Amino acid sequence: MRLLDKFELHQTIIDCVANYGFNPIGAEVQVSHSPTEGTVAGRPVVLAGTNNYLGLTFDPACIAAAVDAVEREGTGTTGSRMANGTYEGHKKLEVELAEFYGLGHAIVFTTGYQANLGMISTLAGPSEFIILDADSHASIYDGARLSGAQMFRFHHNDVADLDKRLTRLGERATETLVVVEGLYSMLGDLAPLREICDVTKRHGACLMVDEAHSMGLVGEKGRGQVEAQGVLDEVDFIVGTFSKSLGCVGGYCVSRHEMLDILRNSIRAYVFTASATPSVIASARMALDIVRHRGPELRDRLWSNARRVYDAVKSLGFDVGPEPSPVVAVIMDVDSTVAAWNALLEAGVYVNLVFPPAAPGRFGLLRCSLSAAHTDEQVDRIIEGYTLVHNIVGPARRVRA
């Protein structure tokens, strides 16, 4: 069946992984009533690959809010926001998100993926243009494809290349949606949003920023890279997720444009899917309140842990991301990545094993994500695990030009 031939590379990777006796792809993680401890393949581990940046998945207040909501409102909405799925909690969360960002308008989606898919595919149409960073998340690419707009990529974080592509469009740059991320999820590097915003505005294009991995992590009030880089009031649309810092599931878009409320009726990923369950919405609202009131304390702890691990891994000679962040990624060839992942698991440390197309080129990633909930002792164990990997497989040769 020639239809399946294109998956041969994936089979090669799976065969390589299977040679180690345990398939880590989709490994079952049993969480032990803690955001940082669990069991993988029967081994007790420190969880260092969860994106649980602020450690709120087991926060007592978030759990209590979720339990109360499910007891009062049931297990699900059984309908879309446009039919019977808009509850009081959805509306309150939208108001609270708009107030958190200091912007006038917000929409809550069932998942972060749907937030990107829905917003991008609605904002740009077949006669228009989308320019996105080459390292953008799959949901951004999928939204662009679904829009029918003509799509262009610019080199990752290369503002000059973005400028060149907008210049080529001439007057039609005003019919263009530019999409970037604040913090990129695979290597943990940051977008130069100030420069990107300046270029986009100069050409009259519209700018959307995905803050999935930076909301709650940076900025004076935890509002992400848009706040940290001083462009909160200039970006047109900000998209994010509840599944990272807020510790549950869901997505959102906030904007200074009144048009966002009108778009609600046109976003297929919003109109034609069931809305988020009451328990999830209640948990997200409580987590957002925690970010408001305990954010600085949690961010300080998170960044302290992140810098310790990044500095230690870099000092071992591994090929890491370009700057410290709560995502610490090591780039290796596929064989070395699998061997290193297994060595870390044996040492009691669980990180993400990432292969193409999520990883760059034809290489693999050991992707560690730190949490404010990691204790000093757990951070020590993570560092000891990478030291063991260094002794077994050696520092990864540099795989990027």
Catalytic residues: 185, 213, 244
What order do you get walking across the sheet with 37-40 strand by strand?
29-31, 37-40, 43-47, 349-350
- Two tokens, residue 70: 């499910």
Q: Specify the amino acid at residue 370.
A: L
User: Would you give the end-to-end CA distance of the chain in angstroms?
Assistant: 37
Q: How crowded is residue 174: how many other Cβ atoms within 10 Å of its Cβ?
A: 14
User: Is the separation of the CB atoms in 263 and 71 below 8 Å?
Assistant: no
Q: How far apart are CA 103 and CA 227, in angstroms?
A: 12
Q: How crowded is residue 294: how many other Cβ atoms within 10 Å of its Cβ?
A: 15
Phi, psi of 92 (to 5 degrees): -65, -40
Strands 129-133 and 352-354, bridge-based pairing: unpaired
Q: How far apart are CA 338 and CA 322, in angstroms?
A: 22
How many helices (H) and strands (E) are present in the chain, helices listed first? 13, 14
